[in-house]
Amino acid sequence: MGTAGHIDHGKSTLIKALTGINPDRLQEEQVRGMTVDLGFAWLTLPKGTVGIVDVPGHHRLVKNMLAGVGMVDFVLLVIAADDGWMPQTQEHVDILNLYGIKRGLVALTKADLVDEEWLELVQADIAERLAATSLRGCPIIPVSGVTGFNLDVLKEAIGDLLDTLVREEEGADPLLWIDRVFTIKGAGTVVTGTLLGGCLEVGMEVAVQPLGLKARIRGLQTHTKSVEKGVPHSRLAVNLTGVEKADLARGMYLSLPGRRPHFSLINAFVEVLPQAPAPLATGQMVKLYVGTLETLTRVRILGGDELAPGGEGFAQLELEEPAHFTFQDRFILRHSELQETIGGGTFIEGGIPVRGHNLRLVGPERLRHLFPFEKPEAHLDLAQLKAKLEADPAQYSLLRAEDRTHWTLAQFREAGLGAHPQLLELGEFIMAPRQFAKVRSYLLEAVKEFHAANPLSPGPSKETLRAATGLPARLFDQVLRKIPELSEVQGFISSQGHELTLSPQEEQKLQELRELIGETPYEPPSLSELLERGYSKELIYAGARLNRLTPLANDHWTTPEIAGEVAALLFTEAEFQNGFPLAAFRDRLGTSRKYALAFLEYFDAQGITIRKGDVRLLGRRPQTS
């Protein structure tokens, strides 16, 4: 539970009355009677123990308030009955509303100082002001931290709020934003924070981010009691070994190594308060607050130049210090010089830099995520950003998958994205249906166009098509298996049912070629010789695919009939039965070594002959039709 409210409205007094613990831990706070930094206490109730973060109320200390209130499960808004609603009350409520905190109570303190009629007027005014915020309808309980009036009622109401919380006793992805760092003699470095997302255990290896420092948990305490395991939504003190106090600061966070990424550039949805001092404009430097971090941030408004007070839209934010975000995490924006809150926002995704006039053109990093045959997008797709913002986590994973042509499974998991039933898992890769549809459409159209332009060819080469998509070879093979309309034929991609059909003129030319080869059957011509004689390469390869020509080794060509006769000769004549050298085969054909070798190396590749040094043995007998 976090406190909120105007200065001197009795937050710390009320917490001490509820818990017996003075949350003002600093000597300066106790002397001045004013909270200047975060204070901590806890309240044990029949329904559980409530950790309490007490925040300062002074307008100059809102940055410290923001370090404590952003991660609470519910809030105790403290308003003094004799003062009523004050300027800092309004700013704190604005911040709670921007954070989307919906659970809470109003403690109307100093109720013993006013009469009943005034108390009713103040309660009505508070209820009316909260009606337009995330805290609308929350209970308003008059109390006194001095006399103890209604403290039992307030405790019961806090207990009722505990029942509304979703209990997370376990988890695999812990996050602890650091709000305090100190040392204890004999123990070493200690950090404190509110644990989210998973458990921490003694002995566990953790990382201090964004520095990437590795540390080990030496001990854990919650509410001054040592524990072996810290659970989500608990206040936790973590004793670390392997890091020094001087290296750590508020705004850093603990996580498991390799988890919980941090970003210096984000795409976000931003809301500007109606009472903001000025529009939020491209190029403006503001202060961003997320978790316990405060960092300067440069603003780029997407789809425009500025957002007026009361306006909302999409922005790209460049953080001076990297911060951790998960999908739909909230953050606050404040003026970098004035002590005023501008608005807040919701994290959508890690950004890709934009550039150009009005910062609308997508930067070069985007190009490496596109298919080479696609045109790069001219600007960020604001409709897509809106769809992501409004998506549930599963749908968000599907939309994020569309940002790239493909992901590896490891990349997808590292980005914290989950499985969606529509996502295609292709071996070690993931593709979104829309991206798969793009590559499928491209391949079908490319093969169709190739067939029309090259009727004698089976299709474009597989490698040419793969290069055009930019897909890795292993993924391209997986994609082809998912497109039954296409098939691979000897390294070429052909449409299913595509048949080579020769025109009468081409049929006559092929027959001439076969007769030419038959004139000197044991001297098969080379491809270059046939081209010189006026036979086209397309016709020659078409003849091979029609099983009318046979390519031998070293680019020589024969016919299936001649190749079959020569192979049969090997299996029927005695001199070849127990192994034979090249020279014996050459002499039997009465040809030169070059042509004999073209036949034998072709037979080697087919398994008809098996070479053992300078001798060849007979292999499998060729099938005869």
Confidence grade of residue 367 (pLDDT, cut at 50, 70, 90): low
Mean pLDDT on 353-374: 61
Closest CA to 537 of 553, 557, 523, 517: 557
**Architecture of the CATH domain 172-255:** Beta Barrel (2.40)
Q: How far is CA 39 from CA 78, 158, 176, 232, 541, in A?
A: 15, 19, 17, 20, 83
d(CA 312, CA 302): 11
Angle of helix 151-163 relative to helix 11-19, nearest 10 degrees, comes to 80
Q: Tell me, what's the pLDDT at 622? A: 83
504-618 adopts what CATH topology?
Answer: Arc Repressor Mutant, subunit A (1.10.10)
Q: What is the DSSP letter of 599?
A: H
Residue type, 338: L
Higher per-residue confidence, 354 vs 123: 123
Q: Tell me, what's the pLDDT at 28? A: 35
Q: Tell me, what's the pLDDT at 207? A: 95
Closest CA to 457 of 447, 466, 469, 468: 447
> Does residue 528 carry a pLDDT above 60?
yes
- Please name every residue paired with 556 in a beta bridge, in sequence order, or none if there are none: 526
How many residues in total does the chain contain?
A: 625
- Tell me the range of 72-76, 89-93, 306-310, 457-461 where mean pLDDT is highest: 306-310
The structure tokens listed for 73 are: 């499960």
d(CA 311, CA 306): 9
Q: Tell me, what's the pLDDT at 66? A: 65
Segment 403-423, tens digit of pLDDT: 888 999 988 888 878 888 999
> Does residue 156 carry a pLDDT above 70?
yes
Note whether 262-365 and 504-618 share their fold: no
For the residues of 58-77, what is the DSSP string, one character each? SGGGHHHHHHHHTT-SSEEE
Residue type, 131: A
Q: Tell me, what's the pLDDT at 377? A: 56
Segment 316-327, tens digit of pLDDT: 999 999 999 989
> Does residue 625 carry a pLDDT above 70?
no
Q: How crowded is residue 221: how many other Cβ atoms within 10 Å of its Cβ?
A: 16
Q: Tell me, what's the pLDDT at 58? A: 39
d(CA 191, CA 206): 13
d(CA 259, CA 210): 11
d(CA 548, CA 489): 17
> Does residue 380 carry a pLDDT above 60?
yes
Confidence grade of residue 67 (pLDDT, cut at 50, 70, 90): low
Of the listed ranges 238-242, 410-414, 606-610, the least confidently predicted one is 410-414
Terminal Cα distance for the chain, rounded: 86
d(CA 103, CA 75): 7
> Does residue 381 carry a pLDDT above 80?
no
Q: Tell me, what's the pLDDT at 99? A: 87
Segment 448-469, tens digit of pLDDT: 999 888 877 778 999 999 998 9
Higher per-residue confidence, 235 vs 142: 142
Match 């109320």 to its residue by tokens.
57
Helix (H) or strand (E) holding 292: none
Torsion-angle region of residue 511: left (phi > 0), alpha (psi -120 to 50) or beta? alpha
Are 230 and 171 a contacting pair, CB within 8 Å? no
d(CA 488, CA 458): 9
Match 């060729």 to its residue by tokens.
622
Q: Tell me, what's the pLDDT at 544? A: 85
In the chain, domain spans: 2-163, 172-255, 262-365, 399-499, 504-618
Phi, psi dihedrals of residue 133, rounded to the nearest 5°: -120, 175
> Does residue 68 carry a pLDDT above 80?
no
Pair type for strands 2-4 and 225-227: unpaired
Phi, psi dihedrals of residue 196, rounded to the nearest 5°: -130, 155
Q: What is the DSSP letter of 622?
A: P
Segment 184-222, tens digit of pLDDT: 887 889 998 888 888 999 999 999 999 999 999 999 988
d(CA 254, CA 175): 6
Q: Tell me, what's the pLDDT at 36? A: 30
Phi, psi dihedrals of residue 107, rounded to the nearest 5°: -100, 110
Helix (H) or strand (E) holding 99: helix 87-99
Angle of helix 593-606 relative to helix 560-572, nearest 10 degrees, comes to 90
d(CA 460, CA 453): 11
Confidence grade of residue 63 (pLDDT, cut at 50, 70, 90): low
Q: Report residue 622 CA to chain centroid gap.
A: 55
Segment 243-286, tens digit of pLDDT: 999 999 989 999 999 888 899 999 999 999 999 988 999 999 99
Mean pLDDT on 294-299: 95
Average of per-residue pLDDT values in the chain? 86
d(CA 587, CA 573): 13
> Does residue 614 carry a pLDDT above 50?
yes
Domain 399-499: give its CATH code. 1.10.10.10
Q: Which CATH superfamily is 2-163 part of?
A: P-loop containing nucleotide triphosphate hydrolases (3.40.50.300)
Are 69 and 99 a contacting pair, CB within 8 Å? yes
Confidence grade of residue 502 (pLDDT, cut at 50, 70, 90): confident
* pTM (2 d.p.): 0.73
Q: How crowded is residue 366: how many other Cβ atoms within 10 Å of its Cβ?
A: 17
Q: Tell me, what's the pLDDT at 379? A: 52
The CATH class given to the 262-365 domain equals mainly beta
Q: Tell me, what's the pLDDT at 364? A: 58
Of the listed ranges 224-233, 504-513, 580-589, the least confidently predicted one is 224-233
> Does residue 35 carry a pLDDT above 60?
no
d(CA 572, CA 589): 14
